[in-house]
Amino acid sequence: MPKSREPCVLAIDLGTSGPKAGVISESGGILGAGFCSVVTHEVGEAGYEQEQEAVWQAVLEACRQALRQSGVTPSDVVAVLCDSYYFTLFPIDCNGRPTMNAMLWLDKRGAKEQRQKLPGYRSDSWWSLLQWIRLHGIPPLSSGIENVSKLRWIKQARPEVYERTAYFLEPSDYIAFRLTGRVATNPCTVFAMQTTDTRRGAYSPQLLRYSGIDPDKFPEILPNDAVIGTVLPDVAEALGISTYTKVLGGVNDTQAGAIGSGAFQGTHAGVMMGSSGGMVAHFHRPKTDVRTGAFTLPAPWPDVYFLTGESGTAGRTLEHFLTSLIFADDPFGTLPSGAPYERLEDVVSSAPPGCNGLLFLPWLTGSQIPVVDGDIRAGFLNLTLSTNRADMSRAVLEGIVYLYRQTSDILERAAGRRFSHYRLYGGGALSRAWSKLIADMTYTPVHRMAHPRMVNCVGLGLLAFHRLGLLSRDDMAERVAIAEVVEPDQQLRSLYEDKNAAITLAFKQNRSVFRRLNGPQGTQSRTQSHD
């Protein structure tokens, strides 16, 4: 491949399954890409961890793959920028060594019911929770999935780890530290620590006090556009780039997707369809809707916030359906599972819209939409003697898209405007059938992004060029590439209005049933207690 002679950015998109890396040109083109997987360890019933060094080595390998494929010279790479999953802790000591494995966003050991059993438990008053919402946006949650709950659990359950830890870092800040040797954060990435006044982008003495965590265990906050440093010599040698390469402050994956889909301006919303699903659009001020879970994230610019809502499991639900039900390996036998998603496209196209009245309730792990309820589960409703696998497959997709419809309604009410269209990215955007369903069930055009799995990397590249003074925000928006526009079939509107209403009604009518089965005294809870 001929050598590039244009400036480019090394973008690192750190996901739960492992990092993607992309070499991005000033035009938003992808010159090279790489991926390396990372193992997640389950710890007990609620713990999920990754080895910090394994994450770092995977980042290096993904970057080497992308750089080799790109054919760039060392001087061509002008900057490195990272995004990552968030509400995750990378604890390090004063020498930068891990004090424990990274504690992932999936981890629920910090749940209130778990911490109540430990010495040093402290409860939050209603007043403190209100202040958290007012100053930051997200208070400590009883589920324990956010960082303050994790930090408190470490302090209570692992006091020796807490004492040895010099800094608790978000993943993208940890990668920046390994690249530069400097411990730092910025208003975008430090948001997940829940100890900042989001309006000022600075630590809040009040929230630091409420958290119960020593203030000096949090990194210094730099401006969003600050250069953290340059690449360390050993890292530059390992990657084959220059030691003059600048390392810029990171963002989280939702923020990167908003940038890569152009949702930082315009009239549309970005829609992420990966293992999990979510939606993001720009807004002009901080906002939190406790009832629906919609909230704003800081953006790289002081006049913009990212309004976001989580739709729950998306691709993971479909994967479970295909691997555990359709292509299961059990005493019934095993079907050949080659190219299951390509085969799914053909099967879904053979089933009629509405799936002959079959409903799929899409809440495999509890609901976030339309309300938070940890006892809700998935299931099929209205099976008949004529129901077949094609109906069931399409019903699964329709059930998942229902969550996006609900998320869109919530965000539109919060934003006070109607979204003109959606920019769809993530692995699910590779499916035209799924894109068409989103358009039909939301009555809204869907713009399928070009290279949908690399949208975060493209967003990082464009942001880096903007920070280097080479692109304006309008330039960034113009470089967002669309592969196809999928229009809704308005003739199906009445059908899907009825179906969306039916799933909402099924959710409400069956909450007591699910609570009986899955609540503290439920059958499933008793069964799990003996596992």
Given a contact cutoff of 8 angstroms between Cβ atoms, the answer to whether 7 and 471 are in contact is no
Do 123 and 194 lie in one domain? The reply is yes
pLDDT of residue 310: 85
Burial 302-319 (b: 16+ CB within 10 A, else e): eebbbbbbbbbbbbbbbe
Does residue 198 fall inside a structural domain?
yes
For the entire predicted model, the pTM comes to 0.91
Distance between CA 291 and CA 465 in Å, rounded?
38
Given 222, 249, 276, which residue is the final one in a domain? 249
Same domain, yes or no: 440 and 515:
no
Six-digit token pair at 209?
């006090």
Examine residue 49 and state whether it is found in any structural domain, yes or no: yes
* Contact of 25 with 4, CB cutoff 8 Å: yes
Exposure string for 79-91, b = 16+ CB within 10 A, e = fewer: bbbbbbbbbbbbb
Residues 435 and 391 grouped into a single domain: no
How confident is the model at residue 306, as a pLDDT? 97
488 and 445 Cβ atoms separated by less than 8 Å: yes
Whichever domain contains 279, its CATH number is 3.30.420.40
Parent domain of 449: 258-312+407-487
Check whether residue 80 and residue 129 sit in a common domain.
Answer: yes
Overall domain count for the chain: 3
Is there a single domain that holds both residue 245 and residue 351?
no
Structural domain contains residue 178 = yes
- Report the DSSP pairing between strands 77-84 and 251-252: parallel
C-beta of residue 378 within 8 angstroms of C-beta of residue 361: yes
pLDDT in tens, the chain (531 residues): 344 578 999 999 999 999 999 999 999 999 999 999 999 999 998 899 999 999 999 999 999 999 999 999 999 999 999 999 999 999 999 999 999 999 999 899 999 989 999 999 989 999 999 999 999 999 998 888 899 999 999 999 999 999 999 999 999 999 999 999 999 999 999 999 999 999 999 999 999 999 999 999 999 999 999 999 999 999 999 999 999 999 999 999 999 999 999 999 999 999 999 888 899 999 999 999 887 888 999 999 999 999 999 887 888 888 888 888 888 888 887 777 677 778 888 888 899 999 999 999 999 888 877 887 878 999 999 999 999 999 999 999 999 999 999 999 999 999 999 999 999 999 888 888 889 999 999 999 999 999 999 999 999 999 999 999 999 999 999 999 999 999 999 999 999 999 999 999 999 999 999 999 987 765 444 334 333
Domain end residue (candidates: 212, 230, 249)? 249
151 and 164 within one domain? yes
Same-domain status, 176 and 288: no
CA atoms within 13 A on the CB side of 231: 23
Cis omega (within 30 of 0) on the bond before 370?
yes
